[in-house]
Amino acid sequence: MTTTDPQPSTTPDRQAAGETLIELVELTKMFPGEPQPAVDRLSLSVGRGEIVVLVGPSGCGKTTSMELINRLIEPTSGHIILDGEDVTEGNPDELRRRIGYVIQETGLLPHRTIAQNIATVPKLVGWGKGRVSERVDELLGMMGMDPDTYRSRYPKELSGGQRQRVGVARAMAADPPVMLMDEPFGAIDPITRERLQNEFLRLQQQIQKTIIFVTHDIDEAIKMGDKIAVLRDQSHIAQFDTPENILTNPADDYVADFIGAGASLKRLNLSRIRDLEVTADAPIGSLDEEPAELLRRLGASDWSAMLLLDAKRRPSRWVTMGDLRRGGDLSRVGLEARALVEPHATLSDALNELITSNGGCAIVVAADGAYQGIVDLETIMAAVRTMREQHSAFYLAQKTSHGVGHDSRQDEGR
Amino acid sequence: MTFFDYLTNSYDNLFELSLEHIRLVLISMGIAIVAGVPLGVTAHRLKFTRAPILSITSFFLTLPSLALFAIFIPIFGLGAPPAIAGLTLYALLPITANTLAGLTSVDPSIVKASRGMGMGSYSRLMRVEMPLAWPVIIAGIRVSTQVVVGIAAIAALVGGPGLGQEIFRGIRSVPNANAPNLVYGGTLAVVVLALLFDAAFVLIRRLTTSRGIR
pLDDT digits (tens, 9 = 90+) for B144-160: 999 999 999 999 888 88
Given the DSSP bridges, would you call strands A340-341 and A335-336 parallel, antiparallel or unpaired?
unpaired
Place A413 in a pLDDT band, splitting at 50, 70 and 90: very low
The residue among A157 and A339 whose pLDDT is bigger is A157
ipTM of the complex: 0.85
Residue A195: pLDDT over 80:
yes
The whole-angstrom separation of Cα A61 and Cα A75 is 13
pLDDT digit string, tens, across residues A319-332: 888 888 887 788 88
Q: DSSP letter string over A162-178?
A: HHHHHHHHHHHTT--SE
Residue B162 reports pLDDT greater than 50: yes
Q: Is A34 helix (H, G, I), strand (E, B) or coil?
A: coil
On whether the CB atoms of residues B99 and B36 are closer than 8 A, the answer is yes
* B 82-111 near A (Cβ less than 8 A): 107, 109-110
Distance from CA of B27 to the nearest CA of A (A): 30
Would you call A70 and B116 a contact, using CB atoms and an 8 Å cutoff?
yes
In whole angstroms, what is the distance from residue B57 CA to residue B131 CA? Answer: 24
Q: Are A95 and B131 a contacting pair at CB < 8 A?
A: no
Q: Select the residue of B114, B116, B212 nearest A155 (Cβ to Cβ).
A: B212
Nearest CA to A363 out of A284, A261, A251 is that of A284
High-pLDDT (> 70) share of chain B, %: 100
pLDDT tier for residue A396 given thresholds of 50, 70 and 90: low
Per residue in A95-148, pLDDT tens? 999 999 999 989 999 999 999 999 999 999 999 999 999 999 999 999 999 999
Interface test with B, best of A73, A98, A111 (most B CBs within 10 A): A111
Q: Is the pLDDT of residue A20 over 70?
A: yes
B211 touches chain A (CB under 8 A): yes
Chain B residues whose CB is inside 8 A of the A155 CB are 212
Q: Which residues of B fall within a CB distance of 8 Å from A110? A: 110, 132, 210, 212-213
CB proximity list for B165: less than 8 A, separation 6 or greater: B17, B156, B186
Touching check for B206 and chain A: CB below 8 Å?
Answer: no
Instruction: Give the separation between CA A99 and CA A177, rounded to whole angstroms.
Output: 7
**Most confident residue range from A28-37, A290-299, A377-386:** A28-37
- What is the H or E stretch that residue A27 is in? strand A20-29
Cβ contacts of B128 on chain A, cutoff 8 Å? 109
Q: Which of the two residues, A279 and B46, has the higher pLDDT score?
A: B46
CA distance A26 to A394: 33
Q: Name which of B113, B118, B132 is nearest A97 (Cβ-Cβ).
A: B118
What would the pLDDT profile of B83-95 be if each residue is shown by its tens digit?
Answer: 999 999 999 999 9
Are residues A107 and B114, on separate chains, in Cβ contact within 8 Å? yes
CB spacing of B210 vs A154 below 8 angstroms: yes
**pLDDT for the residue numbered A130:** 95
Beta-carbon separation of A156 and B212 below 8 A = yes
Q: How far apart are CA B144 and CA A11, in angstroms?
A: 68
- pLDDT of residue A213 exceeding 90: yes
CA A220 to chain centre: 8
Inter-chain CB proximity A112 and B115 less than 8 Å:
no
* Residue B7: Cβ-neighbour burial (10 angstroms; 0-12, 13-18, 19+): middle
Alpha carbon distance A100, B20 (integer Å): 56
Nearest to A111 among B109, B119, B213 (CB): B213
A394: pLDDT confidence band, cut at 50, 70 and 90? low
Q: Which tens digit of pLDDT belongs to each residue from A37-74?
A: 999 999 999 999 999 999 999 889 999 999 999 999 99
